Amino acid sequence: MILLKRANALREYLSGKQANGNTIGFVPTMGALHQGHISLIQAARKGNSITVCSIFVNPTQFNDPSDFQRYPVTLEKDIQLLEKEGVDILFLPYVDEIYPDGLKNLPSYDLGYLETILEGKYRPGHFQGVCQVMHRLLTLVTCDDLYMGQKDYQQCMVVSKLLQLTGIKTRLHTCPTLREPDGLAMSSRNMRLSPETRHQAVCISTALQTIKNHIKPGDTAHHCREAEQFLQENGFKVDYVAIADAAELRLISQWDGNLPLVALAAAYLNDVRLIDNMLIPTVQ
């Protein structure tokens, strides 16, 4: 595995590989890698000649500075995992390689409705930061295929919108969420859970699974209320539980049974914010 820290070196290396007909699969991460990230790496390796992974904790997507400071860093372990999985290039940039003109006067992106709901509502500015870092990374990596996890459902939709806005031809692959044996979605933030809160954390996937198992055509709002109450009773401070159409993320309160849905939740256990979602198929 080649480790590169400079944007120019990355661009020069990849342009040579592409000139020889190699395709590039890219997995952007913020480190603290887990098996969910590894599944993305495996998908990238299967679909492409060259696999690139980046590790960069992006300061512009943290609307809470303390959250940025607490984000887990496990770089030595991450490098060992990536080498074991056969990653070709690890891009480990400094902040000034991603933001050469500094962190002020960065571009903004017209994300429309996506920026006003759910994560966009509760983390103002977050998706602008996601777009800023992803636009820069995609400009540097010039990959054929981009691999991201379904756990960050709304973020995947934002990146899809970014590709439309910029005209970048990269194909986005949204890969299934990987879960622990008890159902908890794998997440770097899980490392910050105490043994007690780790036991509680599974309630978020339980709440979504309950919605998935019991939802029927008609009113859907009561499912969200019941799930929110369940989480509160189990120690969570809830930002949202919502049901939306899976294609456009429009929030719904009535369902005809013919529209694929997604149930989404975000909630805090102490100071650790967890998100999760589950797809809900149409009624057969």
**pLDDT tens digits along 197-208:** 999 999 999 999
Residue range(s) of every CATH 3.30.1300.10 domain in the chain: 188-276
CATH 3.40.190.10 fits 2-175, yes or no: no
On whether the CB atoms of residues 272 and 189 are closer than 8 A, the answer is yes
32 is in an annotated binding site: yes
Distance, in Å, from the CA atom of 165 to the CA atom of 184, rounded to the nearest integer, reads 34
- Angle (CA) 226-232-236 rounded to 5° is 130
The answer to whether the annotation marks 214 as part of a ligand binding site is no
Could you name the CATH architecture of 188-276? 2-Layer Sandwich (3.30)
**34 labelled binding-site residue:** yes
155 is in an annotated binding site: yes
Residue 180's closest CA among 190, 166, 165, 192? 190
Can you give the pLDDT of all 284 residues of the chain as single tens digits? 999 999 999 999 999 999 999 999 999 999 999 999 999 999 999 999 999 999 999 999 998 888 888 899 999 999 999 999 999 999 999 999 999 999 999 999 999 999 999 999 999 999 999 999 999 999 999 999 999 999 999 999 999 999 999 999 999 999 999 999 999 999 999 999 999 999 999 999 999 999 999 999 999 999 999 999 999 999 999 999 999 999 999 999 999 999 999 999 999 999 999 999 999 999 86
Of residues 71, 11, 22, the one with CA closest to residue 45: 22
Q: What are phi and psi of 232, to 5 degrees?
A: -60, -40
- Residues with catalytic annotation? 37
Residues of the chain with CATH 3.40.50.620: 2-175
User: Whose CA is closest to 179, among 204, 158, 213?
Assistant: 204
Residue pLDDT, tens place only, 42-91: 999 999 999 999 999 999 999 888 888 889 999 999 999 999 999 999 99
Is 188 assigned a ligand-binding role in the annotation?
yes
